[in-house]
Amino acid sequence: MLKYLFAKNEDIPSGSSAIFFGFSAIVWFVIGTGMGSYNAAKLAFPDFVTGSELFSFGHMRQVHVMIVIFGWISMAFAMAMMYITPALGNNKLWSEKLGLWNCMLWNIGLTLGLTILWAGVTSGREYSDFPWPVDLYLASCVFIPLGINVWMTIINRRTQGIYTTNWFFAAATFMVIIVFLVGNLPEFFHLTGLTEAYLTWWFAHNVLGLWITPVAAAIAYYTIPKVTGNPLYSHRIGHLHFWSVVVFYSTPAAHHLMSAPLPEWLKSFASVEGVLILVPAIAFVSNILMTMQGKWHMFVENIEVRFTITGCLMAIPLNMQGGFQQTRAINWYIHGTGWIVAHAHLALLGFSTFLEVAAVYYGLQSIMKRKLYSITLANLHFWLLLIGFTTYWVSMTIAGLIQGAGKIYEVPYIDVVIAEHPYMIARWLGGSMVFTGNVLWLYNMWMTARKGTVVPQGRLPHELAYER
Amino acid sequence: MAGFREYKIGSKMFGIALGGSMTITLFFPSINIASVSSTDIALTKQLQMGHETGFNLDDPMMLGWNKPLGVTLKADPKTGQALASDTVVFVYKKGTSFPAGILHPRILGEGIQQLSVEQGHVGDARKEVGAVFTLSKGTYQGKQYTYIENLTATKGWTPSDVMHVAKDEDVSNAGKGKTMFVREGCWWCHTLLPEETQDWQVFGAPPMLGDFNGESPTAFGSDRKAPDLLHVGSRNSSKEWMMMHFFNPRLVQPHSIMPRFDYLWGEKDASGNKIDFVKWRAEYDEYREGKRVTPPDVPSYASDSEIRGLIDFVLSLK
């Protein structure tokens, strides 16, 4: 890959930046889930590693979160954009060279940023933990170049219309830049007090609502029609999804601070707007499931479809929680408990990750024109992720309900800690399964690049999945 | 290449939708939040924490540099005469950055702003020479307010005057401690925000609207795996308990899952002897296995150690 950084753009093979992004994303996913598993072990067994500042929970918790958001999820998005955007515009990526540089600067900046974050140098703001120089770097060297590449590819498309996936890609790359620059204003200009607290959660809400959720959904709008061969069930419902994300998902940021002293009108507004995220959610899930008509056998047979549909099905409980847990009646009970931790993992590890894993599997096979090295390892990867995640989600949801009950019945806190202990062990086991699955995945994709059967011209890799 | 006419309309609609959403969620709340007046808690907090307790260029490695000291004075540092009551002053030595309320008194709120500028002379404070601040009571347009007084301007008390008479036990390093609280990630488990539930009964009243003016970062915390700390200093004010609990939480609470923060003691203890952590841990393991009757003693911390700041900060949360 590195030899292409200084090559002429037209000499770089198509898909190079997607491959670079794809493998980077998988490596970050392995590191991020490994660190998550380690953190979970610390919560279950507090004397697991002691006496070291760097390996204490408070130094590693945010590193895990930042790796999975900006290393795994965002890089998998970039990987998908690098091959899906040109495929849907019937052209080539605007600049493979920009894509390669973007990926390299991304890896370097993220590594440096995470190193200082790990050392404890932090803004002290959840989800925007990086100090402001790192935020400026991420905006200028990561998200703006990515956006330019996506927008220019769409502008130079050779089709008349723009397919649903590309609307989402174009809009989300723009919105994430706005969210990054506005959400970090407290750090750039030293805004303090409630302004700082509110903008912290404005950023946290919108980086999920205007970046992670819409791009993950956009990927499914490509994967399912492409792999099943069915056209998207309804472009109109796609419209509804797109506009309701922009209008409804960008508004309820204050629902993260329902128990903080913010203006009451803002909390009530956020509480009501939060219910409206059911509109894009139902539009998306129904559109994808209806697209599957007549091809449900692929849910069993095909690894990409299985990952994508599982992710879409997990969007149902995700949004049933997300639509109602900010209402005052429910928020009262579950706020600040493990329930929310379970919900956040349902969004990022359940829904979003499963859609991206499918896009990375599919993209790497089709760009490298190689069949998956081992379908058995891929199946094992799927089941380790699904069972590991489910173990995690169920145990954390139960732990959250215990904490909620402890909170409202005034149980001494240490009794809550004791009651949660078995669920903390289950959480660690679940997280470790996810980590193990990802190590197998990295091996499988590496071997696919090295030893995978070459896919003949004119055939799609998944058509040959069960041929020897 | 050429798109549909609808795409131009769509782009404009997109701008209106996102702009409208940002107007409602950013501009409208900013009007409300900007009009919030500081409570006494907010004034005390920002004077004690200083300019910034997250990453900033004056403390790039988050070691607690560039932070003010809280000093409880019993006597006038100039004349030596006893004061009517103990007075808490905040000492900003030469070069220490001032908090947002001194730099931009507008954020303090109606009344407090005018009193702090006109009677408190906060505008005269100079970073190059340092300043000493305290909270005073005054009247503006017939209403009583607490405001910030720059004692260096009003009484001529300089930072060195105050530090000259201050004994070590009268000095609070809570500003440095808040930096430790942020750096060590205490707020990943301990919230600073009791919830609007029966939580009040256990952890005390939730904060008021004006309790945060000038504070950065607020570090409310969101994922509570441990007791809320907003009023912890009122529940437990024992330095000895805090010391044991930070060194190894299992010494005072066998079921605690809190990490050990023994590394915040640094290399040397209060008498300047090197702390032998390996020996301590080995003896503690023997105690845990039942081979010892009592756990080893926790070393007393040096007055410039990081744990000193953190304990001062935790005890300041009244």
pLDDT average, residue stretch B135-156: 97
Q: Which residues of chain A have pLDDT under 70?
A: 1, 468
Same-domain check for residues B256 and B295: yes
Query: Which residue, among A174, A127, A182, has the nearest Cα to A151 in the 3D structure?
Result: A174
Query: Contact A269/B24, CB-based, under 8 Å?
Result: yes
Nearest CA in chain A to B16: A247
Same-domain check for residues B184 and B231: yes
C-alpha span between B275 and A459 (Å, rounded):
69
Among candidate residues B154, B171, B188, the one where a domain is terminated: B171
Query: Contact A266/B201, CB-based, under 8 Å?
Result: no
Same-domain check for residues B60 and B148: yes
Query: Contact A414/B220, CB-based, under 8 Å?
Result: no
Same-domain check for residues B161 and B229: no
pLDDT average, residue stretch B187-200: 89
C-alpha span between A322 and A316 (Å, rounded):
10
Nearest chain A CA: its distance from B157 CA (Å): 29
Burial class (CB in 10 A: 0-12, 13-18, 19+), A443: middle
Contacts with B257 from chain A: Cβ below 8 Å: 43-44, 46, 417, 424
φ/ψ of B254, rounded to 5, equals -55, -25
Q: Shortest CB distance from A246 goes to which of B17, B53, B186?
A: B17
Query: Contact B185/A186, CB-based, under 8 Å?
Result: no
Same-domain check for residues B157 and B252: no
Contacts with A124 from chain B: Cβ below 8 Å: 53-55, 182, 187, 217, 219
Distant-in-sequence, close-in-space partners of B149: CB < 8 Å, separation ≥ 6: B116, B119, B120, B121, B122, B133, B134, B135, B136
Same-domain check for residues B80 and B154: yes
Among candidate residues B112, B141, B171, the one where a domain is terminated: B171
Best of A192, A200, A242 to mutate (most B CBs within 10 Å, chain B): A192
Q: What is the DSSP letter of A255?
A: G
C-alpha span between A223 and A84 (Å, rounded):
9
In a domain, B19, yes or no: no
Query: Which residue, among A363, A265, A353, has the nearest Cα to A307 in the 3D structure?
Result: A353
CATH number at B210 reads 1.10.760.10
Query: Which residue, among A32, A4, A57, A161, has the nearest Cα to A434 in the 3D structure?
Result: A32
Nearest chain B CA: its distance from A431 CA (Å): 18
Position B1 scores a pLDDT of 45
Q: How many CB atoms sit inside 10 A of residue A158's CB?
A: 10
Please report the domains of chain A, with CATH numbers, ordered by start residue: 1-119 (no CATH), 120-464 (1.20.210.10)
Q: Which domain holds residue B196?
A: 179-316
C-alpha span between A165 and A150 (Å, rounded):
12
Task: Classify the phi-psi angles of B121: left when phi > 0, otherwise alpha if psi is within -120 to 50, otherwise beta.
Answer: left
Contacts with A254 from chain B: Cβ below 8 Å: 25, 29
Query: Which residue, among A56, A197, A82, has the nearest Cα to B29 in the 3D structure?
Result: A197
The overall longest dimension of chain A from CA atoms, in Å, is 68
Q: Which DSSP helix (H) or strand (E) runs through A389? A: helix A375-408
Contacts with B185 from chain A: Cβ below 8 Å: 56-59, 61-62, 120, 122
At residue B124, what is the residue type? D
Query: Contact A123/B217, CB-based, under 8 Å?
Result: yes
Same-domain check for residues B79 and B200: no
C-alpha span between A36 and A396 (Å, rounded):
14
In a domain, B302, yes or no: yes
Same-domain check for residues B151 and B193: no
pLDDT average, residue stretch B6-28: 94
pLDDT average, residue stretch B44-52: 96
C-alpha span between A163 and A167 (Å, rounded):
7
Same-domain check for residues B257 and B308: yes
User: pLDDT tens across B284-308, in order?
Assistant: 999 999 999 999 999 999 999 999 9
pLDDT average, residue stretch B247-261: 96
In a domain, B35, yes or no: no
Position A462 scores a pLDDT of 84
In a domain, B17, yes or no: no
> Are the C-beta atoms of A109 and A141 separated by less than 8 Å?
yes
Position B3 scores a pLDDT of 67
Same-domain check for residues B72 and B166: yes
Instruction: Indicate the SS3 state at residue A370.
Output: strand
Position B2 scores a pLDDT of 55
pLDDT average, residue stretch B35-56: 96
Tokens encoding A232: 């998207």
Same-domain check for residues B166 and B183: no
C-alpha span between B143 and B109 (Å, rounded):
13
Q: How many domains does chain B have?
A: 2
Among candidate residues B125, B151, B171, the one where a domain is terminated: B171
- pLDDT category at B233 given cuts 50, 70, 90 is very high
Distant-in-sequence, close-in-space partners of A45: CB < 8 Å, separation ≥ 6: none
C-alpha span between A41 and B117 (Å, rounded):
53
The secondary structure of chain B, three-state, reads CCCCHHHHHHHHHHHHHHHHHHHHHHHHHHHHHHCCCCCHHHHHHHHHHCCCCCCCCCCCCCCCCCCCEEEEEEECCCCCCEEEEEEEEEEECCCCCCCHHHHCHHHHCCCHHHHHHHCCCHHHCCCCCCEEEEEEEEEECCEEEEEEEEHHHHCCCCHHHHHHHCCHHHEECHHHHHHHHHHCCHHHCCCCCCCCCCHHHHHCCCCCHHHHCCCCCCCCCCCCCCCCCCCHHHHCCCHHHHHHHHHCHHHCCCCCCCCCCHHHHCCEECCCCECCHHHHHHHHHHHHCCCCCCCCCCCCECCCCHHHHHHHHHHHCC
- pLDDT category at B70 given cuts 50, 70, 90 is very high
Q: Shortest CB distance from A197 goes to which of B199, B220, B226?
A: B220
Query: Contact A336/B209, CB-based, under 8 Å?
Result: no
Size of interface A-B (CB pairs under 8 A): 227
Best of A195, A196, A421 to mutate (most B CBs within 10 Å, chain B): A195
Q: Shortest CB distance from A190 goes to which of B33, B184, B216?
A: B216
Distant-in-sequence, close-in-space partners of A221: CB < 8 Å, separation ≥ 6: A163, A164, A165, A168, A232, A238, A287, A288
User: A16-44 vs A353-368: helix axis angle to the nearest 10?
Assistant: 150
